[in-house]
């Protein structure tokens, strides 16, 4: 649905196809940002960075890795990448295994 509205608007108004404008339009029409987060649906009311998304997790001082839409987000980029509607995240750690 969000993708449909976005493509209609960007088609009509010639808005560049970037995440920033997508989020702006979404906010204007009072839509929340819906993402998949380790397999669960999560709604955000405002645009945040990936680093902010992870702030509540028990990860301080621990090793973890983040994948967004199937691509690794390097640790150095976590604070620079914004969460977009429809994103899918996997956050993993090392656990005991054979």
Residues that bind other proteins (CB under 8 A): 38-39, 57-60, 62-67, 70, 72, 74-75, 90-98
Shortest CB 39 distance to other proteins, Å: 7
Shortest CB 19 distance to other proteins, Å: 22
CA distances from 6 to 16, 63, 89 (A): 11, 37, 22
Would the CA dihedral through 51, 91, 75, 97 be positive or negative?
positive
Nearer to other proteins, 16 or 98 (CB): 98
Shortest CB 58 distance to other proteins, Å: 4
The answer to whether 92 touches 64, Cβ cutoff 8 Å, is yes
Nearer to other proteins, 27 or 54 (CB): 54
Nearer to other proteins, 10 or 36 (CB): 36
Would the CA dihedral through 32, 80, 3, 54 be positive or negative?
negative
């Amino acid at each position: 649905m969000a993708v449909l509205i976005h493509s209609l608007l960007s088609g009509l108004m010639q808005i560049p196809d970037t995440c920033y404008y997508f989020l702006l339009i979404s906010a204007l029409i009072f839509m929340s940002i819906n993402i998949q987060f380790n397999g669960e649906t999560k709604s955000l009311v405002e645009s945040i960075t990936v680093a902010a998304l992870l702030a509540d997790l028990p990860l301080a001082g621990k090793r973890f890795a983040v994948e967004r839409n199937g691509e690794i987000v390097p640790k150095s980029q976590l604070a620079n990448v914004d969460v977009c509607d429809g994103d899918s995240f996997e956050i993993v750690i090392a656990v005991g295994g054979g």
